[in-house]
Chain A
Amino acid sequence: MNEMKKINLIVNDKTYQLEVDIRESLLDVLRNRLHFTGVKEGCSVGECGACTVLIDGVPTSSCIYLAVFADGKKIRTIEGLEKDGKLSKVQQNFIDEGAIQCGFCTPGIVMTTTALVESGNKFTDEEIKREISGHFCRCTGYQKIFDAVKKSLDDK
């Protein structure tokens, strides 16, 4: 029943070889096995967006993505955004705009925003909202989150 499988996960540019239970979610493997605890769990059924990571550049809810599917794929988490001790622009904007309160939704939203910025596309205000709408935040009323995302897209 609990079949194990060997996989390679490339997380923030580093390769990890692991043997995982085929039923394990990517979220569980990232958090419990590799201790990427910046990836948060708010519902584990794909509703809240807290567990969002980038898989080959695409924002994905890691709680409903099996670890075995991620074999050989490039995964980016919040822990990988800081470069040479410097925060990414998106991170800095979230701080400066006051978009962080309890911070539990923050890593997921920052990852989605990072993907939007890196896509190089332009977004209207409505489109920004649509892109972020998969993330719940109960603290901020989304006002400052919206501002931080917009600023990140503007300052490219």
Chain B
Amino acid sequence: MGFKIIGSSVNRLDAVSKVTGKAKYTNDFFEREMLCGKVLRSPYAHAVIKAIDVSEAKALPGVIAVFTSQDLPKLKYATAGHPWSIDPKHRDIEDRMILTDKARYVGDSVAAVVAQDEIIAKEALKLIKVDYEVLPHVLDPEKALEKGAPIIHEERPNNIVNDFGNEYGDYEKDFMNAQHIMEGVYDTSIVQHCHIETQTAYAYIDTDDRIVIVSSTQIPHIARRVVGQALGLSWGKIRVIKPHIGGGFGNKQEVIIEPLVAAMTIFSHGLPVRYTMTREECFISSRTRHAIKFSLKTALTKDNKLQAIHVLGISNTGSYASHGHSIIMSATSKFRPLYNFKSFKIEPKTVYTNLPAAGAMRAYGVPQMIFALESHIDDICRKLDLDPIEFRKQNLVSVGHEDPISHVVVRSIGLSECIDKGKELIKWEQKRANYKEQTGDKRRGLGMACFSYFSGTHPVSLEVAGARIILNQDGSVQLQVGATEIGQGADTAFAQMVAEVLGISIDMVHVISTQDTDITPFDTGAYASRQTYITGAAVKKAALEVKNKILTIASRKIGLQIDALDINDATIIEKKLGKEICSLGEIAMEAFYDRTHSHPITSDTSVNIRTNAIAYGVTFVEVEVDMKTGVIEVIEIYNVHDSGTIINHKAALGQVHGGVSMGLGYALSEKLMFDEKTGRPLNNNLLDYKLQTIMDTPKIGVDFVETYEETGSFGQKSLGENPTISPAPAVRNAVLDATGVSFNKLPLNPQTVFEKFKTEGLL
């Protein structure tokens, strides 16, 4: 497209501050007399709190405040980081209070303490006496659906958060006329985000009687609103500031501790109070990824075309709705622009259990769905003796495909080329042939899996984004956006967009990385891989506005029409002749100081995007399975993505590496475990929860197919979450290729693999 700065690999703008330790994260700010907050958590998975005695804790010297749900307004609120909906029917479920009066999982927040320091706060927790009436609990969502199961929320006695779905086409007929009907059940486990900075925030009341909260959040503007709702305060009374954050992956797209820390300062006369989750708390009392069990049934025509699909899904949301049914709805919508199903019936259920609440996590339900779908596709191919690549290619949607429910249109699709590249990179044909009929202790296999993903949340949610640009006297600019930099590199991508439009170098764009709800343009935040696509449109609009204002002054000065002028290398040029006229700085000086026309140049604008762009990609993987120990080694892995125009190659590569690594953890090792009898977590720490280390991570190959997406401000589509989606089914399919055994539940850790080999008689 002839971009200069878009597409180049500029270094991240915040790299120097991060590599020198100067970048300030939430816990790097200190206030005099900062107090420490702590939470008393329930030891029971399900229990009524009959009485709490906090008198001894309150009496401990150094304790400032102790409070329980009794001391707080009886307001239930929703914690999901979604834009507010004016339509009450479209709101998240309000099922949570800052502190609970009934424990619904081991770790539920029962009481809070504020003390001079951490040691005293911990002492005080021990002095709180709680009288629990322990209730039977349920961890398995299928059991939670049974008659007589423990009731977790009185408002929903059947434990169903929601169960609406979708259906389209003549599904019954398609199944009746099918040549083949295939069925399979695919299940995933609970995993956790494991951002290295846990949830943390501090709050104080300023002299204007407003609550100021500094928080590690992806969604400052939403956090402000939810704090207001949770405490029954007017939203303008709250100010949320977001500094650098140490990773989020969706877990900070939720308002988890901000209302609590606001309450802590309220009970401490406005003194600053910090509350930081321990790693153990973070595992169970922030959010997790939903375990979802999908039962798929597909109908095929006689020429092996996918005709109809029936999806039954049970999503375990744990003790609170959090993002609730949105997760499985996202899962079951975002796979649809992949294969050309003529009809479908989708029956999802989101179910409460006495487990930690599940919420948003990188790719929002889609890894679960794609694990099911892409495993199922390989099962079909194996059964019908079809080539898994050819079969997929024959069934792909093409440009112009419109989803019958969401009406999202596919305007660009490079998946077929992605597949070709991946196939080439891994030497598919050659190796597949070589690995036929293996019998040894170590067997190799190849697998692949495709995915489709959205860019943002339209048409489900509002997609509003704001950007503000201020031109300085020297022609450089400040850029402010409400969408947050969370490590993904969004700020750098935005700066590239501004530099591209304004014809200036990247070092002339100063991005104000901190969001402050008092001064930052409104934007709902970082999630749904929306930033480059949605916020990117606002950034382009703001930059064009500034450019237009600059050229208006230049035109007045020079006498040429605005559209005869352009900016190149911070110089105003006459477009046609390429002739340099004056520096951008000169125009800026006039804008500031001209005695007649002074009007400093700024733009402050927003967009409401009502399109979506479908991104695609594929994973190709080669594994070696140790038949004796069940250990799976990834020999080679490649992810090839169609994310439209790549704004910054270096940053894009980083996103893919991190996403694939997370996907491999999902495939092979990660699983948060609980004791059936008590509901207690068994491995909520970084030693026992098997997060990928550098030793476990193979070399990750990456490539891109750059389509141009017309609806993207620079041709771009989503990328951030996408790489996490397809590694797990690709690995599973490779293991199937190597051993002939289909693993239909994640993760494929050595124990599971070993046990399955045993039951299959391979050992």
Name A residues whose Cβ lies closer than 8 Å to a Cβ of B.
2, 23, 31-32, 35-45, 47-48, 50, 77-79, 81-82, 87, 91, 94-96, 98, 100-107, 110, 129-130, 132-133, 135-146
Q: How large is the interface on B (under 10, 10 to 19, 20 to 34, 35 or more residues)?
A: 35 or more
In this complex, the member of B28, B196, B279, B657 whose beta carbon has the largest number of chain A beta carbons within 10 angstroms is B196
Contact flags B635-670 to A (C-beta < 8 A → 1, else 0)? 000000000000000110110011111100000000
Interface residues of B in 14-57 (CB under 8 A from A): 14-16, 18-25, 27-28, 30
B279 contacts A101, C-beta separation under 8 Å: no
A sample of 8 more A-B contacts (CB under 8 A), given A138-B195, A143-B657, is: A42-B246, A95-B15, A98-B12, A103-B487, A136-B691, A138-B249, A138-B658, A146-B694
- B119: A residues at CB distance < 8 A: 2, 23
CA distance A36 to B650 in the complex (A): 30
Q: Answer yes or no: B748 CB below 8 A from chain A CBs.
A: no
Indicate whether A48 sits within 8 Å of B196 (C-beta atoms), given known contacts A94-B19, A138-B662, A140-B658: yes
Picked from B198, B247, B699, B700, the residue with its CB within 8 Å of the CB of A102 is B247
B695 contacts A102, C-beta separation under 8 Å: no
Q: Answer yes or no: B535 CB below 8 A from chain A CBs.
A: no
Picked from A2, A81, A94, A143, the residue with its CB within 8 Å of the CB of B700 is A143
The 7 closest A-B pairs by CB, nearest first: A38-B21, A102-B487, A104-B246, A141-B661, A103-B18, A141-B657, A78-B21
B20 contacts A38, C-beta separation under 8 Å: yes
Q: Answer yes or no: B225 CB below 8 A from chain A CBs.
A: no
B23 contacts A103, C-beta separation under 8 Å: yes
Q: Answer yes or no: B626 CB below 8 A from chain A CBs.
A: no
- B650: A residues at CB distance < 8 A: 98
A146 to chain B, nearest CB (A): 7
Contact flags B243-267 to A (C-beta < 8 A → 1, else 0)? 0111101000000000000000000
Q: Answer yes or no: B614 CB below 8 A from chain A CBs.
A: no
B685 contacts A101, C-beta separation under 8 Å: no
B369 to chain A, nearest CB (A): 23
- A146: B residues at CB distance < 8 A: 694
- A143: B residues at CB distance < 8 A: 653, 657, 697, 699-700
In this complex, the member of B197, B488, B659 whose beta carbon has the largest number of chain A beta carbons within 10 angstroms is B197
A144 contacts B657, C-beta separation under 8 Å: yes
CA distance A150 to B592 in the complex (A): 50
In this complex, the member of A39, A43, A100 whose beta carbon has the largest number of chain B beta carbons within 10 angstroms is A100
A102 contacts B246, C-beta separation under 8 Å: yes
CA distance A47 to B659 in the complex (A): 22
B21 contacts A139, C-beta separation under 8 Å: no
B697 contacts A142, C-beta separation under 8 Å: yes
Task: Name the residue of chain A whose CB is nearest to the CB of B486.
Answer: A102
Q: Answer yes or no: B11 CB below 8 A from chain A CBs.
A: yes
A19 to chain B, nearest CB (A): 15
In this complex, the member of B486, B693, B699 whose beta carbon has the largest number of chain A beta carbons within 10 angstroms is B693
- A87: B residues at CB distance < 8 A: 16, 19-20
A104 contacts B196, C-beta separation under 8 Å: yes
Task: Name the residue of chain B whose CB is nearest to the CB of A130.
Answer: B695
Q: Answer yes or no: B489 CB below 8 A from chain A CBs.
A: yes
Task: Name the residue of chain B whose CB is nearest to the CB of A137.
Answer: B196
A104 contacts B489, C-beta separation under 8 Å: no
Picked from B20, B23, B659, B694, the residue with its CB within 8 Å of the CB of A142 is B694
B167 to chain A, nearest CB (A): 38
CA distance A44 to B27 in the complex (A): 14
A100 contacts B12, C-beta separation under 8 Å: yes
A140 contacts B654, C-beta separation under 8 Å: yes
CA distance A94 to B650 in the complex (A): 12
A129 contacts B246, C-beta separation under 8 Å: no
Task: Name the residue of chain B whose CB is nearest to the CB of A36.
Answer: B21
**25 CB < 8 A contacts A-B:** A23-B119, A35-B30, A40-B25, A42-B279, A43-B278, A47-B687, A48-B196, A48-B279, A48-B686, A78-B19, A101-B12, A102-B246, A102-B247, A103-B18, A103-B19, A104-B25, A104-B197, A106-B19, A107-B19, A133-B695, A136-B691, A139-B658, A141-B661, A141-B662, A145-B694
Q: Answer yes or no: B573 CB below 8 A from chain A CBs.
A: no
CA distance A23 to B28 in the complex (A): 22
A53 to chain B, nearest CB (A): 11
B686 contacts A43, C-beta separation under 8 Å: yes
- B336: A residues at CB distance < 8 A: none
Q: Answer yes or no: B290 CB below 8 A from chain A CBs.
A: no
- A129: B residues at CB distance < 8 A: 694-695
B507 to chain A, nearest CB (A): 14
Picked from A36, A41, A98, the residue with its CB within 8 Å of the CB of B651 is A98
A97 to chain B, nearest CB (A): 9
CA distance A143 to B707 in the complex (A): 26
- A100: B residues at CB distance < 8 A: 12, 15, 18-19
A77 contacts B658, C-beta separation under 8 Å: no
A79 contacts B20, C-beta separation under 8 Å: yes
CA distance A77 to B20 in the complex (A): 10
Task: Name the residue of chain A whose CB is nearest to the CB of B24.
Answer: A37
- B194: A residues at CB distance < 8 A: 136, 138
Q: Answer yes or no: B193 CB below 8 A from chain A CBs.
A: yes
Contact flags B266-280 to A (C-beta < 8 A → 1, else 0)? 000000000000110
- A47: B residues at CB distance < 8 A: 279, 685-687
Interface residues of B in 480-531 (CB under 8 A from A): 486-489
A131 to chain B, nearest CB (A): 9
Task: Name the residue of chain A whose CB is nearest to the CB of B194.
Answer: A138
B652 to chain A, nearest CB (A): 10
A68 to chain B, nearest CB (A): 16
- A130: B residues at CB distance < 8 A: 695
A107 contacts B21, C-beta separation under 8 Å: yes
- A36: B residues at CB distance < 8 A: 21
- B659: A residues at CB distance < 8 A: 141
Task: Name the residue of chain A whose CB is nearest to the CB of B34.
Answer: A32
B21 contacts A39, C-beta separation under 8 Å: yes
CA distance A133 to B696 in the complex (A): 9
Interface residues of B in 665-714 (CB under 8 A from A): 685-687, 691-695, 697, 699-700
Task: Name the residue of chain B whose CB is nearest to the CB of A105.
Answer: B196
Indicate whether A141 sits within 8 Å of B20 (C-beta atoms), given known contacts A44-B278, A95-B11, A129-B694: no
CA distance A41 to B25 in the complex (A): 11
B196 contacts A102, C-beta separation under 8 Å: yes
- B245: A residues at CB distance < 8 A: 102
- A94: B residues at CB distance < 8 A: 15, 19
In this complex, the member of A42, A100, A101, A141 whose beta carbon has the largest number of chain B beta carbons within 10 angstroms is A141
Task: Name the residue of chain A whose CB is nearest to the CB of B648.
Answer: A98
B25 contacts A140, C-beta separation under 8 Å: no
B119 to chain A, nearest CB (A): 7
In this complex, the member of B15, B27, B279 whose beta carbon has the largest number of chain A beta carbons within 10 angstroms is B15
Task: Name the residue of chain A whose CB is nearest to the CB of B20.
Answer: A82
A38 contacts B22, C-beta separation under 8 Å: yes
Task: Name the residue of chain B whose CB is nearest to the CB of A49.
Answer: B196
Task: Name the residue of chain A whose CB is nearest to the CB of B687.
Answer: A47
A21 to chain B, nearest CB (A): 8
CA distance A12 to B653 in the complex (A): 35
CA distance A139 to B247 in the complex (A): 7
- A137: B residues at CB distance < 8 A: 196, 694
A83 to chain B, nearest CB (A): 11
B22 to chain A, nearest CB (A): 7
CA distance A2 to B700 in the complex (A): 50
CA distance A42 to B16 in the complex (A): 21
A95 contacts B19, C-beta separation under 8 Å: yes
Indicate whether A138 sits within 8 Å of B20 (C-beta atoms), given known contacts A102-B246, A102-B486, A143-B657: no
A109 to chain B, nearest CB (A): 9
CA distance A42 to B193 in the complex (A): 13
In this complex, the member of A23, A38, A143 whose beta carbon has the largest number of chain B beta carbons within 10 angstroms is A143
B725 to chain A, nearest CB (A): 15
A102 contacts B195, C-beta separation under 8 Å: yes
A60 to chain B, nearest CB (A): 17
CA distance A39 to B20 in the complex (A): 10
CA distance A98 to B693 in the complex (A): 18
A133 contacts B697, C-beta separation under 8 Å: no
Task: Name the residue of chain B whose CB is nearest to the CB of A92.
Answer: B19
